Chain A
Amino acid sequence: MAKWDENSVLQVERLTMRFGGLTAISELSFNAARKQITALIGPNGAGKTTVFNCITGFYKPTEGMINLRHPDGREFLLERMDDFLITRHAKVARTFQNIRLFSGMTVLENLMVAQHNKLMRASGFTIAGIFGSPSYKRAEDAAIEKAKYWLKKINLTDRADDPAGDLPYGDQRRLEIARAMCTDPLLLCLDEPAAGLNPRESEELNRLLLGIRKDHDVAILLIEHDMSVVMGISDHIVVLDYGQKISDGSPATVKNDPAVIRAYLGVDEDEEPAVIIAEVAAPIAAKKAEVKAATKKAPAKKIPAKKPTPKSRGRK
């Protein structure tokens, strides 16, 4: 049995989600293990974000079980819990595909809001805090220390007092991860953390995620399209297509799985994938050589990585 099954934090069993007549996910089962990075990949519309929304309680699954196990042996059935209780008690944190920072609050404040529940208890549910109790002061200082630790990890210590909305896109992505980590999660769900990042920012993200895996007792579950991120850092990959699991295993196994190749390249059932790959690969290789030759002659202008504009501020 693979190692991620032995110490799994998250167990998804026969998860099915239907929206009216549309089955977004059907009978999906997979595990995510502690101190491991599990990637959830698949073509557009495969149902990846729906899986995330089921795990984090934003959707209630139609069928199936999502079990989260704590190191002390407590188990939580996430499909029965409210979204904010999943974060609070079951210790699942998430980020969003379109960044959802509190853009009008400073970077530090964003990290403080993430520690809300701990601070709320320390402030005696506001009553002790309003009279300036020393125990709350200590708790707040500890929270600032924790925020500082994460600021250092994401290299944003110098910008701690700037509004989060003022940060560059890549920094906002990392800040959102740091904010999620400030809730002390056991499972961290990242929805396309590398979307819109340039190669350098992607590299920084990889380092951050590997650092989190090394230093923190957390299982990371990520959705990603950027294969350099997925193949570079994940320990375990689950591939979805049309809401069904088509492959599950280590990066090497998944990469060579004919079903995965078929899903990504869009091959008919009866065609032989190997033949298609050869067919597809040949022109690509030819084109590559062509481009190489062209760049040698006249270095083509580098097209900067396209960045999606951060979501518009103002009234929503």
Chain B
Amino acid sequence: MTTQGSNITTRPYDWAAIIKDVIGSGIITFLILTPIVAFKTTLDQGSLTYSTRWPLVLTLALIVIAGRLIFHLFVWNRIETSKSAKAAPAKPGILSTIGKYIGPIMLVIALILPLISHFFPTSDKRVIDLAIYVLTYVMLGWGLNIVVGLAGLLDLGYVAFYAVGAYAYALLSTVYLPEWFGAGVVPWAFYLTLPLAGILAATWGVILGFPVLRLRGDYLAIVTLAFGEIIRLVLVNWFAFTNGPQGIIVPKATFFGLPFKDDPGGFAAFFGLEYNRIHFYIFLYYVILALALLTFVVTNRLRRLPIGRAWEALREDEIACRALGINTTNTKLTAFAIGAMFGGFAGSFFAARQGFVSPESFVYLESAIILAIVVLGGLGSQIGIVFAAIAIMGSFELFREMDFLKAILPQGTDPIQFRMLAVGLAMVLMMRFRPRGFVTKRDPTVFLKEKKAVSGDFVSQGHG
């Protein structure tokens, strides 16, 4: 058996073409760099002068020439002769063995993380806080995955539902619940509001769903994008209702009515523990873990129900769906509603964790990040989304830690300013080499004899 890569022969060098290419690319580099690099303006005692940097331009052009030459000599002369990857018996690689157990392993790690976080060199609080942060995005990714990954509807305004959930918690817990049931209900506000926030977000999902039912692709993306911005602008400008850009201070989550405070009525005193702020973080961690697992389990069950199969069929071929008697209107609306509902749960949790909400948290960038997580993870793949969320959110945080970079960076710049640049570059590379994300295989929802993952090549990516 030969693997695809091993059967490689080399091609004789075509020197004329190589020299032409190398010199050509050198000239192009030179021409491009001339206006960008060659002239440097300096402010010299009130007058603007310029200096030239021709040696630098030449060096850079030479680097390009050398680089292309190396590629010509050692990389581009190879010819892959074996294209019979399909005929070769698929040998279960180490990756697929890991793939089988990765889910349970990750779950166990997630469950005991607060315990093992004691052994991390940095403080417990930071590790757990980061884990909460990542899990929030995992949950959002799983929620958006229903709309984008399963139903194939590109939604660029998912953060709107996150905002609806957060403001639902904020307004209900500070204004409406005390008004309706008295101030005594406030410690319980999180538990009472969570389902309501989900329902409200789902309602908004349907409200968004209706106008976009007939839209596809780019048009759908634009309208959902606009919807996300509308929600944010309403939050900013409806001062009487939302307190505008100043935001709302909201009560933090409690342990079934017991606040995490250093007083006799608090959580620590009740259980006879010494007060420590970490209790609150551990509690929040398990809440978001439970919510994320709920999202995971519900989505997985839905996939195996007719509604979930209809979502995936819709992504594959809408006309065929209608020809089979599937009401595509309802199918799309349920996808929007259920995806939005999980976004609402996550938003409500976000507000209860922060103790403060403001429209600033719900900008378009958040939608883009959540969508990036879903796409990077592999459309429709739940385990891939976990990795993508860890990779993206983790790398954001990593930049905060990299103080050593300050030594090499120019004076006055903080490495954190480069995080978007680096993540963007990483995503470009990722999409170049794994365009379908980390996990490309689709798991069938039902099988007769043997469960075989469907290769991503066959899976359609939907209309958006």
Contact = CB atoms under 8 A, between A and B. Distances in A.
A130 B338 CA distance: 13
Nearest to B338: A126
A234 B321 CA distance: 28
Contact of A104 (B316, B321, B327): B316
A123 B316 contact: no
A180 B321 CA distance: 11
B312 interface: yes
19 contacts: A83-B323, A87-B322, A94-B323, A102-B312, A104-B459, A105-B309, A106-B454, A108-B448, A116-B310, A116-B324, A120-B307, A126-B307, A140-B446, A148-B448, A161-B450, A161-B452, A179-B324, A313-B460, A316-B460
B320 A101 contact: yes
B323 A161 contact: no
B316 A102 contact: yes
A183 B324 contact: yes
Interface residues of A, number: 53
B306 A83 contact: no
A77 interface: no
B306 A120 contact: yes
Nearest to A107: B448
Contacts of A58: 319, 322
B11 interface: no
Interface in B346-387: none
A46 interface: no
Nearest to B454: A163
B461 A114 contact: no
A102 B305 contact: no
Interface centre among B309, B334, B442, B461 (most CB of A within 10 A): B309
Contact of B455 (A105, A115, A148, A163): A163
A166 B458 contact: yes
Contact of B305 (A56, A84, A123, A315): A123
Closest 5 CB pairs of A and B: A104-B459, A87-B325, A88-B325, A102-B316, A165-B458
Interface string B434-464: 0000000010111111111011011111010
Contacts of B53: none
A246 interface: no
A231 interface: no
A160 B454 contact: no
B293 to A, nearest CB: 15
Nearest to A151: B448
A105 B316 contact: yes
Contacts of B324: 84, 87, 93, 113-114, 116, 179-180, 183
Interface centre among A94, A113, A126 (most CB of B within 10 A): A113
A104 B448 contact: no
B406 interface: no
A108 B316 contact: no
Interface string B417-433: 00000000000000000
A233 interface: no
B454 A104 contact: yes
A108 B447 contact: yes
Nearest to A131: B301
A109 interface: yes
Contacts of A102: 312-313, 316-317, 320
A130 to B, nearest CB: 5
Contacts of A140: 446
A166 B442 CA distance: 14
B320 A105 contact: no
Given A103-B316, A117-B325, A314-B461, A109 B445 contact: yes
A104 B323 contact: no
A314 B306 CA distance: 24
B326 A130 contact: no
Nearest to B298: A130
A144 interface: yes
B9 to A, nearest CB: 30
A115 B309 CA distance: 10
A183 B324 CA distance: 7
Contacts of B442: 104
B302 interface: yes
A316 B317 CA distance: 9
B328 interface: yes
Given A96-B320, A130-B298, A161-B450, A123 B306 contact: yes
A37 to B, nearest CB: 20
A157 B448 CA distance: 9
Given A106-B444, A109-B309, 15 more contacts: A88-B327, A100-B317, A101-B317, A104-B460, A106-B452, A113-B310, A113-B313, A114-B324, A119-B305, A119-B306, A126-B334, A148-B448, A157-B448, A313-B458, A315-B461
A43 interface: no
Contacts of B444: 105-106, 108-109, 161
Interface in B283-322: 298, 301-302, 305-307, 309-310, 312-313, 315-317, 319-322
